[in-house]
A and B are shown apart, each in its own frame.
Chain A
């Protein structure tokens, strides 16, 4: 069936470090892909999305490019802040990755 596989954490970084979270998908056709973020004690919120191949989604300094040839949608941020500490989920429709817990230390 359709699914996503996400790099598992936890990931601990220092402020201003580079962050990458890997996500690959399995699906028929060309689905829309999403990254959601869950801050401590809150529900999930959409971080960014891409609806077709080679699209780049971006928001709050985060970026992800929809790569059809590698069936990937990796999340990146060039310089993380303490406020980026959260759980990040890659998603395809109703299928969510396991979530990656990111902790950024000052």
Chain B
């Protein structure tokens, strides 16, 4: 079974530009979550999509957005990039992410997209 794939793996952008990152989940997984990983803040949850609907959202500004397609593939977009957006962006897929914590399932992570904003 193929794992979670993310494209591109590396990206360099200029402040003020926008960027779109892509994630293909494991076949059969309907939940896709996005995380930002930085040395200072650790791993922070951005949002989660399930069946094309955003179900959970972290504490990030509106410049960060996402969507999920009918085949469960997901994209994340960051507009008006800032230097502080430089990070490793991780995508994770899961069979489901239940509405209650008791229903949460293990997540399978992709290798990440390393975004550098200059």
> Nearest residue in B to A94 (C-beta to C-beta)?
B45
Contact of A82 with B by CB under 8 A: no
Among residues 7 to 27 in chain A, which have CB atoms less than 8 Å away from a CB atom of chain B?
Answer: 27
| A94-B105 contact, Cβ under 8 Å, with A42-B111, A43-B111, A99-B42 | no
Closest to B58 in A: A94
Q: Which of B70-118 contact A (CB under 8 A)?
A: 90, 92, 97, 100-112
Tell whether B68 is near chain A: CB-to-CB under 8 Å.
Answer: no
* A66 contacts across to B, CB distance below 8 A: none
Q: Are B109 and A45 neighbours in the complex by a CB distance under 8 Å?
A: yes
Q: What total of chain B residues lie within 8 Å of the partner, measured CB to CB?
A: 25
Interface residue? B43 (CB, 8 A)? yes
Q: Are A89 and B101 in contact (CB under 8 A)?
A: no
Query: Is the Cβ of B106 less than 8 Å from the Cβ of A94?
Result: no
Residue of B nearest to A27 (CB): B101
With A43-B90, A93-B97, A94-B56 as contacts: A32 and B104 at CB distance below 8 Å: yes
B21 to chain A: closest CB distance in Å?
Answer: 14
Contacts A30-B102, A92-B101, A96-B42; A46 near B107 (Cβ below 8 A): yes
Instruction: Give Cα A2–Cα B101 distance, bound, in whole angstroms.
Output: 9
B55 → A minimal CB distance (Å)? 10
B33 at the interface (CB under 8 A from A): yes
Residues A31 and B101 in contact, CB atoms below 8 Å apart? yes
Interface residues in chain B, defined as those with a beta carbon under 8 Å from any beta carbon in chain A? 4, 33, 35, 42-43, 45, 48, 56, 58, 90, 92, 97, 100-112
